[in-house]
Structure 1
Amino acid sequence: MSALDTVLPESIIGVLMPLPVLVPLLTAAITLVLGRRPRAQRAVTIIALTAVLLVSCALLYLADRDGTHSLAVGGWDASTGNVGPLGIALVSDRLSALMLVISAVVLLAVMVYSVGQGVRDGDENQPVSIFQPTYLVMTAGICNAFLAGDLFNLFVGFEVLLTSSFVLLTLGASADRVRAGISYVMVSMVSSLVFLAGIAFAYAATGTLNLAEMATRLDGIPGGTRTAIFAVLMVAFGIKAAVFPLSTWLPDSYPTAPAPVTAVFAGLLTKVGVYAMIRAHTLLFPGGSLDDVLMVCGLLTMLVGILGAIAQADIKRLFSFTLVSHIGYMVFGIALSTHYGLMGAIYYVAHHIIVQATLFLVVGLIERQAGSSSLRRLGGLAAASPLLAILFLVPALNLGGIPPFSGFIGKIALLQAGVDHPSVLSWTLVAGGVITSLLTLYVVARIWTKAFWRPRADAPEGDLADERPAVLLDDSSDIAFADRDDVGRMPAAMLLPTVALVAVGLALTVFAGPMIGYTGRTATDLMDRSIYIDAVLGSHAAPVQEAAGTSGGAR
């Protein structure tokens, strides 16, 4: 490779890497200025999110072609030995680039959907001047968390998410939304305090917050201290990822939000916690010191979540519980500490972000079409709107793991990794994963039969769904009906992004081979910590001690 070929990618990376964070932040300021011009505000927001998607795709291509890249922020270049407590690095590797691309796809689709839904129409209950800036700030927080190369910068990303998500969750200031928002922010603050304590412990033990340098210094820390720090960080990340028993806050918080907000929260925010778990487990604390605990938590997350879903009569709450349940699959893959376990977990993360966000957008369409999301009031939707039936059925089957969809492929990869793992716990998790998949299929089939195939007249409260929506919907609804004509309308700008996300979910199936290949290369990078450390620290990187259990096979 020539010198030009070596320098050019680095110069491109230096320009591209900050953009997923800077572009949303700068355009958030612009949209605030354009608060009295909603059309211009929406246009600027969509252009900014499109730019983030394009930049993320470029980072994905460069990361897959050239490997891990690091960018020193503010001149604190770790590779020159200047890194210290103040050192900040942005790191783009295959994992972070994949998360950026998937997140950008969802963020753009949901923004277009929200414009079409008309919930941001400028009336007194839906402040249009707040939504777009806050949404862009949340986007910057998500991207910052994925690119963060130091522990405190990761904390900052989480806090940006907390602040912006609280605003989005309570838009409209209805009693239910404020109540759910208070619960959400209190839990998030507890998580942040635990995370901050973990940062303090890690810094006290290693003298640095840079992840690469911390990884090398943690090797010299006594095993008990390392495990204690790991446990504190896992609790913080487990709350954000909604891992049982730290998941009870989620089903009460998400269903009250507007459908676009719920789609982003369900699709992305919990996955930021999962991403942090993967990064900490593979880079900072390899060796499987808490793998058995994570396996038990993963199993309980799967089972408790899906059992909670079975008991729900509202589709939003039902999908909130399935969201919790399927986080257990990702924890399962992480806890295996094997190449194939990580490969399956990463593929499943990408699959679940798309499918879960799609399903919540479909729920918004159901509310728009029928005036309710309660199974006690729904019926006959397949006859009323065959297109809506298809838009629900495809991601629902995908979530249930029906072959040949990506949900089936991801679950098979995880179950195979569990079978190859020589432990009773892993086999128990395999059984739990199969049971959870079957019960997931049961709950989506229940929605299909009750909401789509059953005549509405047979629904216990079907007659109420024909009343004026303002009467039958409580004040937590995300639909601000102006009149009776709103029911039954599904604007094209709502349908098109939903169709696009369904297509992306199908693409994960059609291109499963290349996608599995990419996640396999990602898992290989994660298992070899020296790749990340060398990219950040360069020649100053200390020798890395690979702990037992980080090989590509079973422990």
Structure 2
Amino acid sequence: MATSTPTTDLPQAMIETVVPASDWVIVLPIALALMGAAGLMMFRRSNGTPLIGSVIVVLAIIACEIALLVEVLANGPVSMTMGRWLPPFGISLTADIFGASFALAAALVTLIVLFYAELDRADADGRDAFHPMVLLLLAGVTGAFLTGDLFNLYVWFEVMLIASFGLIVQGNRPLQLDGAVKYGFLNFLATTFFLMSLGLLYGLLGTLNMSDIMRVSSTADPAAMAGVAALFLLAFGMKAAAFPVNAWLPASYHTPPAAISALFAGLLTKVGAYAMLRALVVVLPASRDMLEPVLACIAIGTLLIAPLGAIAETNLRRAIGFVVIGGIGAVMVGLAMPSLNGVAGSGLYIFHAILTMTALYMVAGLIEKTTGQSDTRYMGGLYAANAPLSILFILLVLASAGVPPFLGFWPKLLLLEAGLDQGVTGAAPGWVGTAMVLALLINAVLTLIAGTRLWAHVFWRSGPEGQGSENGSVDLKPFEKRGQLALGATTLLVAGIVVAGLWPGPLMEAISAGAADIIDPARYVEATALAGDEL
């Protein structure tokens, strides 16, 4: 926690602060990513240097974030304010268990994707700025997870948007341009709504610091605050690809190379889901209560519509895009039922989805590389040709559906418990708990159907769709050296997911402690030195 020592008669906002050295780990991941991105731009034409440099930077970021998470677990939330302007005037970085754990998960999958990306990269691709853009994207994601200021959150969203635009068009194929237009239009619209909501909120309260908003929001008109919360819900719902503003995701995430799709699926929509959780449950809980029926309807719609889209889809990565959307519905269940189990379930699902959705797209890229096809109707025969790939895919399908004892089961178990508890206590509106339980169970069944259907078409069937599918006429390509590296990186990530599912105790304990700070943010506010009687 940042502490202050008065040294002059200056106003409180200008008092010099003394920050313990241990607290610098909250800003170092962002600084390292930004400086690494700038440095690698200068060496991008040097063969091998961008990969080695980016791996070193990400390893340093992971070390800082492990130290940050250990500090937060031991002593509670940590806050650091830039410059000499104390909150609420200065820009604060504030980390609790949720923010620190999500930032660490994002860095881990980025490290694995850096190795996986070599699958589609040639020696001449060094001048395309892929590695600097990945670090810039990681800087935006990390900043969004660790910021304590809503305007700063908007800034990090813009950083992510710039980096994602640079990544989604890499490859220069017409299909990527089409995907970039759809992705860009909807995301620009979302950031516009976000900026509008920030302007309205600042006009109402005169502050955008999250802790300060918690202290003074009760003084504002409840109807006006509910309107601001509704704009937040729309903006972050579009970022997260929640129903009904989700069509852009399956229309764009299949267009870039698989490594970029994996990064997007693992990081970008999860930042939108986290922003909803932070803004509505922590910062504006009274306004969230007014929007609870809307949140419930959005969660149910997302849970049910998304897996149906995956069942109907024949393009492999488009189908996985619908699975990603279904996971956002699970996160929103916790927003509609913000009990300890509900918030813990949402937080654990975000952590699970960062890992699992990244791995799903990585496996999809390996499948496309092996078959030379992106449409499952023209695939088949991979079970006999590549049994390890078959096993990786089915493990991830089971994890995505929430089949025990895989990682996706535990957050859904917490969410089911939250729904059953709400049904027992008769919390208003009383239908929410029962509807959420049914929607979660139906989503699990439909996701399992969609995933096993894909597995059967890609791996179990001997050949392409048609009367001769049993003859096995698919031209399968063996993995070269780069493909073996990509397969190894994917296997490592899937192994981590399996181990976390089989041994969930430490993770669930940490997430439950983080959920307690979300429901009662007193320690979060205290970390920014803004605790007061108003909270």
Global fold match (TM > 0.5): yes
How far is 1:13 from its partner? 3.3
1:501 maps to 493
Q: Which residue of 2 aligns with 1:61?
A: 70
- The aligned residue for residue 435 of structure 2 is 428
Q: CA deviation at 1:525?
A: 0.8
- The Cα shift of 1:511 comes to 2.4
Unaligned 5+ segments in structure 1 are: 4-8, 470-484, 546-555
Instruction: State whether residues 306 and 323 of structure 2, in contact with CA within 8 Å, keep that contact through their aligned partners in structure 1.
Output: yes
Please say if residues 341 and 418 of structure 2, whose CA atoms lie closer than 8 Å, have aligned partners that are also in contact: yes
Q: In the alignment, which residue of structure 2 is the partner of 1:527? A: 519
Match of residue 94 from structure 2: 91
Distance in 2, Cα, partners of 1:292 & 1:465: 52
Shift of 1:270: 0.3
The CA deviation string for residues 376-408 of structure 1, in whole angstroms up to 9 with x for no partner, is 111111110111111112111111221111212
- Is structure 2 residue 424 aligned with structure 1 residue 419? no
Q: Secondary structure at the match of 1:185?
A: helix
2 CA distance for matches of 1:528 and 1:544?
A: 14
Pairing 1:397–2:398 present: yes
SS at match of 2:376: coil
Secondary structure at the counterpart of residue 253 of structure 2? helix
Partner of 2:194: 195
- Asked if the contact 1:114/1:494 (under 8 Å) is kept, the reply is yes
> 1:274 & 1:162 partners in 2: Cα distance?
16
Q: Retained in 2: the 8 A contact 1:355–1:398?
A: yes
Separation (CA, whole Å) in 1 of partners of 2:435 and 2:346: 17
User: Match of 1:491, SS?
Assistant: helix
Task: Give 2:326's aligned amino acid.
Answer: S
Tell me which residue corresponds to 2:284: 285
Q: After TM superposition, list the pairs within 5 Å mapping 1:302-381 onto structure 2.
A: 302-381=303-382
What SS class does the counterpart of residue 38 from structure 1 fall into?
Answer: coil
CA distance in 2, matches of 1:435, 1:268: 26
Q: Contact conserved, 2:226 with 2:290, CA < 8 A, in 1?
A: yes
Alignment map for 1:22-171 (pairs within 5 Å): 22-78=31-87, 83-84=88-89, 87-115=90-118, 117=119, 119-123=120-124, 128-171=127-170
CA distance in 1, matches of 2:180, 2:439: 32
SS in 1 for 2:48: helix
Query: In structure 2, how many angstroms separate the alpha carbons of the residues matched to 1:353 and 1:419?
Result: 27
1-side partners of 2:439 and 2:139: how far apart? 36
**Residues in 1 aligned to 2:468 and 2:262: alpha-carbon distance in whole angstroms:** 27
**C-alpha contact 1:375 1:451 (8 A) present in aligned 2:** yes
How far, CA to CA, are the matches of 2:175 and 2:100 in structure 1? 37
User: How far has the Cα of 1:283 moved from its partner?
Assistant: 2.2
> 4+ runs of 1 displaced by more than 3 Å?
126-129, 457-467, 485-490
Q: State the distance in 2 between where 1:426 and 1:252 align.
A: 32
Residues 464 and 152 (structure 1), Cα distance of their counterparts in 2 relative to 1, 3 Å cut: farther
SS in 2 for 1:219: helix
Shift of 1:411: 1.1
Q: Counterpart of 1:404 in 2: which secondary structure? A: coil
- Compared CA separation, residues 75 and 466, structure 1 to 2 (3 A): same
1:479-503 deviation per Cα after TM superposition (whole angstroms, max 9, x unaligned): xxxxxx7767762320121111112
Aligned residue identity for 2:191: S
1:418–1:129 distance in 2 versus 1, CA, 3 Å: same
Q: Is the 8 A contact 2:340 2:519 kept in 1?
A: yes
Alignment of 1:479-490 (within 5 A): none
Cα distance, 1:29–1:457 mapped onto 2, change above 3 Å: closer
Deviations 1:500-545 (A, max 9, x none): 1112211221221121111110111111122111111x2x533244
Equivalent-residue separation in structure 2 for 1:388 and 1:148 (angstroms): 38
Residue identity in the other structure for 1:101: L
Corresponding residue number in structure 2 for 1:482: none
The structure-2 alpha-carbon separation of the partners of 1:464 and 1:157, relative to structure 1 and needing over 3 Å to count, comes to farther
SS of 1:70's equivalent in the other structure is strand
C-alpha spacing 1:106/1:459, structure 2 compared with 1 (3 Å): farther
Q: Encode CA deviations 1:292-331: one digit per residue, 9 max, x unaligned.
A: 1111000001111111111101110110011111210100
Q: How many residues are treated as equivalent by the alignment?
A: 510
Q: Of 439, 443, 448, which aligns to 1:441?
A: 448
- 1:350–1:204 distance in 2 versus 1, CA, 3 Å: same
Per the TM alignment, residue 127 of structure 1 is displaced from its structure 2 partner at its CA by 5.9
Alignment match, 1:268: 267
Asked if structure 1 preserves the Cα contact closer than 8 Å seen for 2:363 and 2:393, the reply is yes
Question: Hey, what does 1:454 align to over in structure 2?
Answer: 461
TM-score (normalised: structure 1): 0.88
Distance 1:406 1:419, change over 3 A: same
Aligned residue identity for 2:450: V
Root-mean-square deviation over aligned CA pairs: 2.0
CA distance in 2, matches of 1:76, 1:510: 46
**8 Å CA contact 1:369, 1:488 repeated in 2:** no
1:69 touches 1:91 (CA, 8 Å); kept in 2? yes
In the alignment, which residue of structure 1 is the partner of 2:509? Answer: 517
Distance 1:490 1:443, change over 3 A: farther
8 Å contact kept, 1:302–1:326? yes
CA 1:312/1:465 → structure 2, altered by over 3 Å: closer, same or farther? farther
Quote the Cα distance in structure 2 between the aligned partners of 1:489 and 1:435. Answer: 42
1:542 aligns with 2:529: no
Kindly tell me: are residues 128 and 372 of structure 1, through their superposed partners in 2, closer, same or farther at Cα, counting changes over 3 Å? farther
Deviation at 1:128, TM superposition (A): 4.0
